[in-house]
Amino acid sequence: VGDGDDADASVLEECAGAAVSALPSNPKLFLRRYLGTWVLETWVPGIVAIQRGFAPRRGDVVLASPPKCGTTWLKALAFATMARGAHPPAGDPGHPLLRANPHDCVPFMERLFAAGLGSKVMDALPSPRLMATHMHHSILPASIAENPDCKIVYICRDPKDMLISMWHFSRRIRPDLAFSDLFEAACEGSCLSGPIWDHVLGYWNASKASPERVLFLRYEEMLRDPVGNVVKLSQFLGRPFSPAEAEAGVAMDVVRLCSFQKLKDLEVNRADSGSSPLGGVIREGAFVNSSYFRRGEAGDWANHMTPEMARRLDAAMEERLRGSGFSF
């Protein structure tokens, strides 16, 4: 434990108890509103610690997303792309993604910093570091948002599918959670990572202003053209596939390694418990590896939502996104 951990610890102490409990809340969903964004209560100290104490390193890559929008997939794809020198995506039986869940390959910042391990774990990562966050762009520290040496890859998804995915995921630990509670909160802007329109707009606008620093991806587009998106990702990360790699189909190898079915069927991802050596500290919490792989499709919302609900959520999104140049 070094100085960085002491600093993390003092921030956590400061945030503990009174300060967090004074924030507006959505008790049904265990959320607090922090600087206009709805986050899990337990993440607030982590976010404050990131804002105050994140020490950037040249080449850092932050994977940003609202929850349940393809974070696991993006973690796997970015990790496989960045690590392909040491670990070829095909023909390496020791590839980390064959042995560990993607969430154990790329740490989740809010949780890590909330546990007081931000500096310790992040300092130990080799450069270029990959890390993930669900924070809105508006609350990222300048050390990430305005840092020319730090890149951000964002992924979002049709909010209707995101909500259905979130409901299934949450019910694993809260079987009594009513979909209507989640739905109403989303329409009002107060679901996890809400307002969703602000989450998307923050990164959309940042990607328009600084396309060399913020790459904006969409889950549905990735499903339609995974190889094209991996090529785009590799170029953005400054690791384009060489002509020899292109000839050998390495981008396709990355896509295959990270495909929904491939990852879902791995022994490690069928496990009943998390495999993290840090006991769930670097990922989202008490979720087992298999819970990150459900259907992996677009449009499942139609099996769960009435057309009227879909229209309402679409309209809420459209109203807020109007004029931005972005639409779902």
CB of 132 to ligand A3P, least distance (A): 9
Q: Is 161 in the site for ligand A3P (CB under 6 A)?
A: yes
Where does this chain touch ligand A3P (CB under 6 A) — which range of 135-143, 179-187, 236-244, 288-296?
288-296
For residue 204, give the DSSP letter. Answer: H
CB of 258 to ligand A3P, least distance (A): 5
DSSP 3-state of 131: strand
CB of 119 to ligand A3P, least distance (A): 26
Q: Is 294 in the site for ligand A3P (CB under 6 A)?
A: yes
Which of 120, 168, 239, 320 is in the footprint of ligand A3P by CB under 6 A?
168
Q: Where are the beta strands (DSSP E) in the chain?
A: 25-26, 31-34, 37-40, 61-64, 130-133, 151-156, 214-218
81, 230 Cβ separation under 8 angstroms: yes
CB of 293 to ligand A3P, least distance (A): 5
Query: What are the phi and psi torsion angles at 96 (to 5°)?
Result: -55, -35
Which CB sits closer to ligand A3P, 259 or 275? 259
Which CB sits closer to ligand A3P, 71 or 133? 71
171, 109 Cβ separation under 8 angstroms: no
Q: Is 292 in the site for ligand A3P (CB under 6 A)?
A: yes
Which CB sits closer to ligand A3P, 211 or 299? 299
**Which among 96, 83, 70 is positioned nearest to 234, based on CA atoms?**
83
Where does this chain touch ligand A3P (CB under 6 A) — which range of 30-38, 78-86, 111-119, 252-260?
252-260
Where does this chain touch ligand A3P (CB under 6 A) — which range of 89-97, 244-252, 269-277, 287-295?
287-295
Amino acid identity for residue 130 in this structure: L
* Cα distance between residue 96 and residue 275, in whole Å: 12
The binding track of 65-94 with respect to ligand A3P, each residue x by CB under 6 A or -, is x-xxxxxxx---------------------
Q: Is 260 in the site for ligand A3P (CB under 6 A)?
A: yes
CB of 103 to ligand A3P, least distance (A): 8
3, 155 Cβ separation under 8 angstroms: no
- Residues within window 198-227 making contact with ligand A3P, judged by CB under 6 A: none
Peptide bond into 195 cis (omega under 30): yes
Strand partners, 214: 152
Active site residues: 134
For residue 305, give the DSSP letter. Answer: S
CB of 22 to ligand A3P, least distance (A): 30
* Cα distance between residue 288 and residue 309, in whole Å: 30
Task: Please give the structure tokens belonging to residue 115.
Answer: 């546990």
Which of 186, 257, 258, 305 is in the footprint of ligand A3P by CB under 6 A?
258
* Cα distance between residue 222 and residue 308, in whole Å: 28
Where does this chain touch ligand A3P (CB under 6 A) — which range of 160-168, 181-189, 227-235, 266-274?
160-168
Size of the site for ligand A3P (CB under 6 A): 21
The two beta strands, 151-156 and 61-64, are parallel
Which CB sits closer to ligand A3P, 65 or 207? 65
Q: Which residues contact 80 (CB under 8 A, 6 or more apart)?
A: 87, 89, 95, 97, 254, 257, 258
What is the binding site for ligand A3P (CB under 6 A)?
A: 65, 67-73, 161, 165, 168, 258-260, 263, 292-296, 300
